[in-house]
Amino acid sequence: MINDFFNILLPQGCLAVFILIQLLLGMFVSPRAYKYSRLISAIGISASIVLLSTVQIEPQYFGLRNAVMSDSYTLLFDFIILLCGFFVVLLTKNLITQRRQNAYTFNALLLTAIFGAINTVSANDFLTLFISIELLSFPTYFLIASNKGYYSKEASFKYLITSAVSTGVFLFGVSYLYGLTSSINLTEIYEFVAQHEPSLLCSFAGIMIILGLISKLSVFPFANWIIDVFKGTETSVLAFLSTIPKLAMFGIICRLLVFPLSNSFELVCTIAVLTVITALWANTYAIKEKNVKCILACSSAANASYALLTACLVSVYNLSAVIFYLICYVIMNLVVFAFLNITEGNGIGNQVEDFKGLFRKNHGTVISYVIGILGLAGFPIMSGFVAKIYLFSAIANSGLIFIPILLVLMLLTVIALYYYLKIILPLFDECDKNFAVKILKAAYSQKFVLFICTAVTMLIGIYPEKLIEICRFIAYNI
Amino acid sequence: MDLFLSIPFLIFLPMAASFFVMSPLFTGNEIAIRRFTKTVCGFHFLYALFMLMLFDGANPYTSKLSFFGLDWVQSLGISFSFRIDGIGMILVLLTSFIFFMAAISSKINIRKNAKFYYSMLLLLMSAILGIFTANDIFVFFLFWELELIPAYFLIGGDFTSETVPEAKKSAVKFVLFTFGGSMFMLLGILLMYYYSYMSTGILSASFGDIFINSAPKIIQAIISALLLIGFGVKLPIIPLHGWLPDAHTNAPTPVSMVLAGILLKTGAYGIYRFNYEILKDIFLVIAPILAVFAIVNIIYTAFVAYAQTDIKRIVAYSSISNMGLILLGLCTLTKLGLSASVFHMVAHGLVTAGLFMICGVVYLRYKTRDINALGGIAVTMPRLFGFGTLIVLASIGIPAFAPFISEILTIVSAMFSDMGILLKICSVCALPLLIVSSCYMLKFLHKSFMGKLELSDKINDISMHEFVVLGSITAGLIIFGVFPAVILNLIG
């Protein structure tokens, strides 16, 4: 047990310690010292990132009686999740200033969610997985509700209900699988599935499990929470919501698909249908939307569905494409939400027209934002272009039957381009002389996130080879 | 490749200049930016000329960028490789020339946001040069997509003295059309890449390594069709042309020159590179069908152009009509047809740039583009009238001007190609183009330049800058009209 701890659980342990520190400080420190809460979170996450170097990955390590595992795949996901967590903490300045009473609690919740996300990726049995997902979900309800106003409470409640239902579905699938294999351990289930003929019941259980997991990715049937939730949530929490739960869920879904649930034709069909429905719904819904957050919610759902479709057509090539896409995608999302965080801090609303003419006075920040959005739309020089080509080539390589689906998805990206343009157009509008364009004030931490993520987006776009190599290595070794 | 003849330098010089102009390091002074841009474009043109002089048709220029000793995306077989053969060289030179002209003529048109405008213009130049020189299907696609961003801002941006309210809408239309087309194209490219890999086992996406003749015929046909939709939006082929008139009309004059002069040629170039060269087997089958589309392009838009009252729209529709001729030349699948096609790209690039320039000059002074409101310009602006007459005559295919050669060559090659009776009928049908195009072009000349003087304000004749642009374009038209061998030899 102790060995396990020192071999693979140090990062998690470090985070847990910092959660406790935050909670203790929240009890004993005066709310006037709220500023230090972010610092402590940042230190905690950085320490955790450093401790990732102690994790044993070669060969695969199974710890705590096979309940958790670690390999290069989980290490990569842990690293990206922690990095996103670090950026999110940097973005929380506005929120913490608003809510200084609860600053420490808020940070403790954020760290808990990150803790849950890391554990989700490295879980190796369904019980651990379930607990980790709950650890990820529960703090999220409160994080969403931390915004001012009516909408955030509604958002939180919607998220709560969706999560509850999807967890039920997930457990239902797990119970079936347990009934079939009399095990909840992923390795044992994998062995069982490998030895036996694929059965319909097993596929059914697999579908239920995946259905339970994809609610966090806002894939149909658990799709429409995302718009309300994005509408009512503060942008730094959105930066969290659109990156970390997605990474965690993709981390575990890819592993489940590669291991125990592979070779299930029904599963692939179901997911393919669901993703196409999601992409259709999300992209068409966004056409009439005027709220930037809602548009980004739709884009988030659509992008997740593309990646999920690729992930379900299991192959090494596809897996590496998905990982590459996810990394590019979260970084671009951080760019976008960092900008929205800055504008929200400056009292600019979320409607498309509220951003009118910002380019005139704020060249640097607006160009970064445009780079982020155009990257999401898949334009070259940005990493989105390479990611798009890689992902689509993965789908195209999976077989001729997927070509029509691919064509549909590609045409949906044209609609997506329309709403992305709708977001960035007003920024360049020429306003009247009387209209005072705001000069955006931003904290160093916000600017840091914005510019670093933009630089990384460009860097990956210009020189993707290294990252692709890493992704391929990891996909090959899973 | 020695240091002086570097393709990456040729392509990335404008891009570097664009980033430099955009960066806070560069001054915001409009005059400084303009002069810098003109200098870059002028130098680029000289450099391209220099490359042309040392060009040897048997040894095309090739170049490959490596990143830390690796290809761009080594693991997917994508390399940043470039190749300039005869056709590429001609188009590179044309691009360089038209952008130089556009940069010169920007002085009189661009009044606002100069920094943004010139940086986008240079970026667009880089992207188009990239398309003409790319030697890898994904790099080609990269530049194809990259070009959308600057083109969007150039069409929709607010640069001229008065705001055009529809400009933003037409820019969005342009981007959505092209992006939609390029999605079809991407699917085609991916399939091509996949089947080439299947049959050869070489993980490479460069044009030379793509080989899909062993793929099933139906797959080849699908790929060909997908690519044609992509290029057909840009060219444009008739049902896909909706974006063009709006975009060309609402863009500032220099941008219209670039759009019609170069951007449309990227579509034709794409058809040549992909459908004509790589998918030759299937192109043999679909060429007659495509020729019918070309004829529809030619005839239909010629009539539409005749019905227009906006002078810029007349020129825009005439562009579509002429693009049909270029497509027809490609469809003949003969060396002569190809030469004619490429020659017409150059000739039409020059003509249409000149025509848009004239429209811009007229609009700047009279604040209207309505053909019925104009009239009598010949009296107030005799020098413009001179150039106008020359360029309009060139565009209707009068001998001694470049378009004459290419139109005749196209029709002759279509007549004598061995692609069957359909192409011969097409070539006969193409003849009326010459008549209808003379109708609308002469209407343009007649209604705006002759007639009663409608507006009697004091109007200045063309300035030095405009004179230089129109003069260079006319000179180019005459030179290529008298010595067509300059271009035809390069094509081989």
Contact A472 B186 (CB under 8 A): no
Contact A417 B176 (CB under 8 A): yes
Contact B112 A406 (CB under 8 A): no
Contact A465 B187 (CB under 8 A): no
Q: What's the pTM value of the predicted model, to 2 decimals?
A: 0.93
CB B265 within 8 A of CB B301: no
What integer pLDDT is reported at residue B4 of this predicted model? 64
* Arithmetic mean of pLDDT, B207-220: 85
| Tens of pLDDT, residues B214-257 | 888 888 999 999 999 999 998 888 888 889 889 988 899 899 99
Q: What domain range is A327 assigned to?
A: 264-478
Radius of gyration from C-alpha coordinates of chain A: 21
By mean pLDDT, which of A151-165, B53-67, B108-122, B446-460 is the weakest? B446-460
- Which of the 8 DSSP states describes residue A61? E
A410 min Cα distance to partner chain B (Å) = 6
Q: Which residues of chain A lie closer than 8 angstroms to B138, CB-CB? A: 389
Pairing of strands A68-70, A61-63: antiparallel
pLDDT class for A150, splitting at 50, 70, 90? confident
Q: Is B39 on the interface with A (CB under 8 A)?
A: no
Contact B172 A425 (CB under 8 A): yes
pLDDT class for A261, splitting at 50, 70, 90? low
Query: Measured between alpha carbons, how far is B305 from B313 in angstroms, rounded to an integer?
Result: 7
Mutate to test the interface with B, among A417, A433, A459 (most CBs of B within 10 A): A417
| Tens of pLDDT, residues A276-321 | 999 999 999 999 889 999 999 999 999 999 999 998 887 888 899 9
Element spanning B127, H or E: helix B114-133
What integer pLDDT is reported at residue B111 of this predicted model? 84
CB B226 within 8 A of CB B194: no
Mutate to test the interface with A, among B26, B75, B226 (most CBs of A within 10 A): B75
Element spanning B262, H or E: none
Q: Which residues of chain A lie closer than 8 angstroms to B191, CB-CB? A: 396, 403
Q: How many domains does chain A have?
A: 1
The answer to whether residue A360 sits within a structural domain is yes
Q: Which of A428, A464, A468 lies nearest to residue B157, judging by beta carbons?
A: A428
Element spanning A69, H or E: strand A68-70
Residue B145 pLDDT exceeds 70: yes
CB pairs under 8 A between A and B: 85
Q: Which of A374, A378, A396 lies nearest to residue B191, judging by beta carbons?
A: A396
The answer to whether residue A470 sits within a structural domain is yes
| Tens of pLDDT, residues A376-396 | 998 888 899 999 999 998 888
Q: Is residue A39 classed exposed, middle or buried when 0-12, 13-18 and 19+ CB atoms within 10 A define those classes?
A: exposed
What integer pLDDT is reported at residue B434 of this predicted model? 73
Contact A417 B149 (CB under 8 A): no
What integer pLDDT is reported at residue A363 of this predicted model? 84
3-state secondary structure of B164: coil
Q: Which residues of chain B lie closer than 8 angstroms to A417, CB-CB? A: 175-176, 179
Q: Which residues of A409-427 are buried (b: 16+ CB within 10 A; e: fewer)?
A: bbbbbbbbbbbbbbbbbbb
3-state secondary structure of B69: coil
Q: Which residues of chain B lie closer than 8 angstroms to A425, CB-CB? A: 156, 168, 172
Choose from A88-102, A151-165, B444-458 the range with maximum mean pLDDT: A151-165
Q: Which residues of chain A lie closer than 8 angstroms to B73, CB-CB? A: 386, 464-465, 468
Give ∠ CA A182-A186-A187 in degrees, rounded to 5. Answer: 95
3-state secondary structure of B206: strand
pLDDT class for B297, splitting at 50, 70, 90? confident
Which residues of B, range 100-159, sit inside 8 Å of A by Cβ?
112, 138, 141-143, 145-146, 148-149, 152-153, 156-158
* Arithmetic mean of pLDDT, B40-49: 92
Residue B480 CB contacts under 8 Å (≥ 6 apart), including other chains:
B343, B346, B347, B350, B402, B405, B486, B487
Contact A411 B142 (CB under 8 A): no
A465 min Cα distance to partner chain B (Å) = 5
Of residues B460, B305, B276, B289, the one with CA closest to residue B395? B305
Q: Is B221 on the interface with A (CB under 8 A)?
A: no
pLDDT class for B454, splitting at 50, 70, 90? low
What integer pLDDT is reported at residue B3 of this predicted model? 58
Select the more confidently predicted residue: A7 or B15. Answer: B15
Q: Which of B146, B179, B184 lies nearest to residue A380, judging by beta carbons?
A: B146
CB A356 within 8 A of CB A431: yes
Query: Measured between alpha carbons, how far is A187 from A66 in angstroms, rounded to an integer?
Result: 8
Residue B457 pLDDT exceeds 70: no
What integer pLDDT is reported at residue B351 of this predicted model? 92
* Arithmetic mean of pLDDT, A336-353: 89
| Tens of pLDDT, residues B307-340 | 988 889 999 998 988 898 899 888 888 888 889 9
Residue with tokens 């981007």: B175
pLDDT class for B97, splitting at 50, 70, 90? very high
Residue A70 pLDDT exceeds 90: no
- DSSP output for A217-283: GT-TTS-THHHHHHHHS-HHHHHHHTTHHHHHHHHHHHHHHHTTTTT-HHHHHHHHHHHHHHHHHHH
By mean pLDDT, which of A27-31, A293-297, B467-471 is the weakest? A27-31
Contact A410 B183 (CB under 8 A): yes
* Arithmetic mean of pLDDT, A328-346: 92
CA separation (Å) from B366 to B84, B380, B448, B459? 43, 11, 11, 8
Residue with tokens 């696609």: B141
Contact B112 A430 (CB under 8 A): yes
| Tens of pLDDT, residues B364-409 | 888 888 888 887 788 888 888 899 999 999 988 888 898 888 888 8
Query: Measured between alpha carbons, how far is B76 from B134 in angstroms, rounded to an integer?
Result: 17
- Which of the 8 DSSP states describes residue A401? T
**What average pLDDT is seen over chain B?**
87
- Which of the 8 DSSP states describes residue B456? -
What integer pLDDT is reported at residue A359 of this predicted model? 85
CB B74 within 8 A of CB B130: no
Residue A260 pLDDT exceeds 90: no
Percent of chain A with pLDDT over 70: 99
CB A429 within 8 A of CB A319: no
What integer pLDDT is reported at residue B162 of this predicted model? 80
Q: Give the tokens for residue A439.
A: 């000069």
Contact B179 A417 (CB under 8 A): yes
Residue type, A92: T
Contact A464 B73 (CB under 8 A): yes
Query: Measured between alpha carbons, how far is A277 from A274 in angstroms, rounded to an integer?
Result: 5
Query: Measured between alpha carbons, how far is B402 from B305 in angstroms, rounded to an integer?
Result: 22
Q: Which residues of chain A lie closer than 8 angstroms to B76, CB-CB? A: 390, 393, 468
What integer pLDDT is reported at residue A292 of this predicted model? 92
Query: Measured between alpha carbons, how far is B43 from A341 in angstroms, rounded to an integer?
Result: 44
* Arithmetic mean of pLDDT, A25-44: 87
What integer pLDDT is reported at residue A339 of this predicted model? 93
Q: Which of A393, A414, A468 lies nearest to residue B176, judging by beta carbons?
A: A414
pLDDT class for B267, splitting at 50, 70, 90? very high
CB A55 within 8 A of CB A122: no
The answer to whether residue A105 sits within a structural domain is no
The answer to whether residue A164 sits within a structural domain is no
Q: How many CB atoms lie within 10 A of CB A478?
A: 17
The answer to whether residue A478 sits within a structural domain is yes
Q: Give the tokens for residue A278.
A: 């999601």
A412 min Cα distance to partner chain B (Å) = 9
- First-to-last CA distance in chain A? 24
Residue A48 pLDDT exceeds 60: yes
Q: Is B434 left (phi over 0), alpha (psi -120 to 50) or beta?
A: alpha
Residue A169 pLDDT exceeds 90: yes
Q: Give the tokens for residue B374.
A: 């104009």
3-state secondary structure of A172: helix
Percent of chain A with pLDDT over 90: 43
Choose from A184-188, A197-201, A367-371, B294-298 the range with maximum mean pLDDT: A367-371
Query: Measured between alpha carbons, how far is A323 from B284 in angstroms, rounded to an integer?
Result: 42
Q: Which residues of A touch B (CB under 8 A)?
A: 363-364, 374, 378-381, 385-386, 389-390, 392-393, 396-397, 403, 406-407, 410-411, 413-414, 417-418, 421, 425, 428, 430, 463-465, 468-469, 472
Mutate to test the interface with A, among B79, B113, B145 (most CBs of A within 10 A): B145
Q: Which residues of chain B lie closer than 8 angstroms to A325, CB-CB? A: none
pLDDT class for A259, splitting at 50, 70, 90? low
Query: Measured between alpha carbons, how far is B208 from B123 in angstroms, rounded to an integer?
Result: 27
Helices and strands counted in chain B (H then E): 20, 2
Query: Measured between alpha carbons, how far is B59 from A131 in angstroms, rounded to an integer?
Result: 66
Q: Which residues of chain A lie closer than 8 angstroms to B149, CB-CB? A: 374, 379
CB A136 within 8 A of CB A248: yes
Q: Is B72 on the interface with A (CB under 8 A)?
A: yes
Q: Which of A385, A414, A465 lies nearest to residue B75, judging by beta carbons?
A: A465
Mutate to test the interface with B, among A283, A389, A405 (most CBs of B within 10 A): A389
Residue with tokens 């200098």: B39
* Arithmetic mean of pLDDT, B149-171: 86
Backbone angles phi, psi at B85, to 5 degrees: -100, -170
Residue B55 pLDDT exceeds 70: yes
A395: nearest CA partner in chain B: B190
Q: Which of B75, B112, B179 lies nearest to residue A472, judging by beta carbons?
A: B75
Q: Give the tokens for residue B408.
A: 């005749």
Residue B1 pLDDT exceeds 70: no
Q: Which residues of chain B lie closer than 8 angstroms to A469, CB-CB? A: 74-75
B32 min Cα distance to partner chain A (Å) = 20
